[in-house]
């Protein structure tokens, strides 16, 4: 069983010896290994049961990260300056030191500087970057607490660095560059609007089918085991659906008993809703409801990101 603690020294020793450590970030917990070691990286795919065509993100400190790209475009530098450390992944041509196991054979690599004090200290200790996908079995909800990781991957990893609850709660926004154009591959913890304020209009190319470039975007992903139905709005006819939980944002349903209503944010705060989303889906999954009915959030701030995750979680 994985040990859970806050010992940077212990975590760094395991990583230096080619082992796996779950690390806290501001978005979700990552399942980390030495990104420069092919053998260590292969273990990540095994433990996660992740298809090998799905590339990993490489994490390092702001001081060290740039060496892992062979080209760092001007727009990438502007975004990095504004949003790192933080929930932004930049897809750039990879440096030759990054093995193809990390990038699933692609010539590009996803780079990110996480914003969590324990993981920053850990990265400062190491002389290699960390490859880390979210620390959940492939296809399931990402973990936002150390305990989530223990429940699902505890038998397969050596150490969980416990950094408390992830305060952003949804994965990073992934940005790439195609022939001078800025493209968003995954909606995440920074809204498209925030990015456009800095670099102007961008193209949003989040996929729908199985784009081999970003299989993290596969349609069914981030999904609870309990069937989830996503609706545009409440309809009184569904109030008496049996054994059903309602996942809400800033609303309460007068026709539904209180013990079946679960609110992402009572005050309508999008950041609070994002931070609560995955823990609430896990909780609902464990309560034994027959189904979960969720409603789309307004399309502003992180509403689009949350709607994206709910859509992928839905049946
Ligand atoms: O917030 C996050 O990004 C978290 C924390 C742990 O940093 N990580 C995370 O990793 O969400 P993961 O593996 O669950 O999702 C990584 C996504 C996948 O959709 C993958 O396809 C995409 O990043 N990706 C990685 N490298 C890429 C590349 N070179 N080109 C296009 N997409 C890439
Ligand atoms: Mg993931």
10-residue block means of pLDDT along the chain (315 residues)?
Answer: 97 98 98 98 95 94 98 98 98 98 97 98 98 94 97 96 98 96 97 98 79 53 88 88 94 93 97 98 95 97 97 92
Mutate to test the pocket of ligand 1, among 118, 171, 221 (most ligand atoms within 8 A of CB): 171
CA distance 300 to 127: 40
Of 21, 28, 185, nearest in space to 115 by CA: 28
Residues whose beta carbon lies within 6 Å of some atom of ligand 1: 25, 27-28, 30, 54-57, 87, 89, 91, 103, 106, 108-110, 112, 114, 132-134, 171-172, 174, 185-186, 213-217
Residues 6+ apart with CB under 8 A from 147: none
Structure tokens at 237: 């006819």
Mutate to test the pocket of ligand 1, among 55, 76, 111 (most ligand atoms within 8 A of CB): 55
pLDDT at 210: 44
Minimum CA distance residue for ligand 1 atom 17: 216
> What's this model's pTM, rounded to 2 decimal places?
0.96
pLDDT at 218: 57
3-state helix, strand, coil in the chain (%, to 5): 30, 20, 50
Minimum CA distance residue for ligand 1 atom 18: 216
pLDDT at 219: 56
Alpha helices in 112-244 (DSSP H): 117-125, 146-153, 192-199
Residues paired with 108 in a beta bridge? 93
Residue with structure tokens 């054979």?
A: 105
End-to-end CA distance of the chain: 33
pLDDT at 217: 54
pLDDT at 193: 98
Q: Which atom of ligand 1 is nearest to the CA of 135?
A: 6
pLDDT at 254: 92
Contact 233, 295 (CB under 8 A): yes
């Amino acid at each position: 069983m994985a040990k859970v603690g806050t010992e940077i020294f212990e975590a760094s020793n395991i990583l230096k010896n080619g082992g796996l450590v779950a690390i806290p970030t501001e978005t979700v917990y990552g399942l980390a290994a030495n990104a420069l070691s092919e053998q260590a990286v292969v273990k990540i795919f095994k433990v996660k049961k992740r298809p090998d065509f799905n590339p990993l993100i490489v994490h390092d400190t702001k001081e060290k990260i740039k060496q892992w790209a062979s080209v760092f475009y001007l727009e990438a530098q502007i975004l990095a300056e504004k949003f790192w450390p933080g929930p932004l992944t930049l897809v750039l041509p990879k440096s030759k030191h990054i093995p193809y196991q990390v990038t699933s054979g692609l010539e590009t690599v996803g780079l990110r500087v996480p914003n969590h004090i324990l993981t920053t200290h850990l990265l400062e200790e190491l002389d290699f970057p960390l490859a880390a996908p979210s620390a959940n079995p492939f296809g399931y909800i990402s973990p936002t607490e150390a305990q989530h990781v223990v429940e699902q991957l505890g038998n397969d990893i050596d150490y969980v660095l416990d950094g408390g609850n992830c305060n952003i709660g949804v994965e990073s926004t992934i940005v790439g560059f195609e022939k001078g154009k800025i493209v968003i591959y995954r909606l995440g913890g920074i809204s498209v609007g925030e990015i456009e304020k800095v670099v102007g209009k961008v193209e949003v190319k989040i996929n729908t089918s199985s784009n081999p470039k970003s299989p993290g975007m596969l349609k069914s992903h981030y999904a609870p085991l309990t069937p989830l139905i996503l609706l545009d709005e409440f309809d009184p006819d569904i109030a008496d659906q049996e054994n059903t939980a309602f996942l809400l944002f800033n609303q309460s349903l007068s026709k539904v008993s209180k013990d079946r209503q679960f609110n992402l944010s009572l005050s309508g705060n999008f950041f609070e809703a994002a931070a609560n989303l995955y823990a609430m889906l896990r909780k609902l999954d464990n309560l034994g409801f027959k189904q979960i009915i969720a409603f789309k959030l307004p399309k502003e701030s992180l509403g689009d990101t949350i709607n994206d995750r709910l859509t992928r979680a839905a049946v």
